[in-house]
Amino acid sequence: MKKAPLFEISVTGMEHGEWQGTVAFPASGEQLPFRSLLELIRIVKRGMPMPNTKED
């Protein structure tokens, strides 16, 4: 079974030593720009589903 990606990162350039681009979330269709690695990390972390902590 092929799984869909959680997010796709497109780096479109570099300015002041920082990556710049967009993060796309295919499941929701949302696409967000980022201007630094820190912004990229925050966007991806916010868009990640929480792990299932329920014990069976």
Instruction: Convert the pLDDT of each residue in 9-46 to its tens digit.
Output: 999 999 999 999 999 999 889 999 999 999 999 999 98
Of 45, 21, 47, 42, the C-alpha closest to 33 is 21
> For residue 10, what pLDDT is reported?
96
Query: How far, in Å, CA of 34 to CA of 15, rounded?
Result: 12
Where do the domains of the chain lie?
8-47
> For residue 48, what pLDDT is reported?
74
> For residue 35, what pLDDT is reported?
96
> For residue 47, what pLDDT is reported?
79
Give the number of other Cβ atoms within 10 Å of residue 40's Cβ: 21
> For residue 52, what pLDDT is reported?
62
List phi, psi (to 5°) of 7: -155, 160
> For residue 51, what pLDDT is reported?
65
